[in-house]
Each structure stands twice: as C-alpha cells, then as structure tokens.
Amino acid sequence: MSKILIVDDASFMRLMIRQILARQGLTDIIEAENGRQSVEQFKSIKPDLTLMDITMPELDGLAALKEILSFDPMAKVVICSAVANENIVQEALNQGAVDFVAKPFQPEKLLNTVVKHLKN
C-alpha cells in the first residue's frame, strides 16, 4: 500500500484530495497543514509520494520541498497549487519536484499524476 502525504493549509482541500485518492483505493494517507509539519511528517513516515501546496504558513511549499529533498534526494513531491505562473512551475521543477498540478484541478488529472509517479 502506497503512503501519500497531502500538504495543504486548507482542510477542505486536503479532504477533497483524500476523497479523490480513496476512489482509486489509495487510503494510506497522512496530512500536514503547513510546510514545517510536512517536513516533520515526511521524516517520520517516509511517504511514497507527497502532494504539496506552495502558499502556506510557517514554511512555504518550495522551502519545504528543498528541506525534504535534502533529507531524501529520491523523494517524489508533486506540487499542487493555484500559483501556477510559469516561473513558479519552473522553479518547483528545477528544485526537484517531479510534477506540477494546477488548482483547480480535474480529479482525473490529479489521479493520473499520482498513479504515474507511484509506478515510477
């Protein structure tokens, strides 16, 4: 069973992502509501995939991505953010994110991205 860490400061967004993943049978899900928590959760559970928002309190998604990758260079982090201008997307990918899904997203797009990266 694949472990997935959902990181978003909006509880409704974490719930929505959790429900989308559950439809695919992905139920081993851990949540974090800010970048600082995401780093702590990542280190303790070592998820197979992390879905990370960018704009969050305490530590933004890009800073959290950097910390996670310094702990585990093989970590798979998909950025899921409404901040989808080309510079931000490119910065996230350059820093080591494996993919970027713009909010609002279609459930199928998110699922396809998750499944693709869990297989690789």
CA distance 78 to 76: 7
Domain of residue 25: give its range: 3-119
Do residues 30 and 45 make contact, with C-beta atoms less than 8 angstroms apart? yes
Q: Is the pTM of this model over 0.85?
A: yes
Q: Does residue 89 carry a pLDDT above 90?
A: no
pLDDT digits (tens, 9 = 90+) for 55-76: 998 999 999 999 999 999 999 9
Q: How confident is the model at residue 20 (pLDDT cuts 50, 70, 90)?
A: very high
Backbone angles phi, psi at 75, to 5 degrees: -60, 140
Q: Does residue 85 carry a pLDDT above 90?
A: no
Which CATH number belongs to the domain containing residue 36 in this structure? 3.40.50.2300
What radius of gyration do the chain's Cα atoms show?
A: 13
Average pLDDT, the chain: 94
CA distance 110 to 31: 17
Structurally, how many domains does the chain consist of?
1
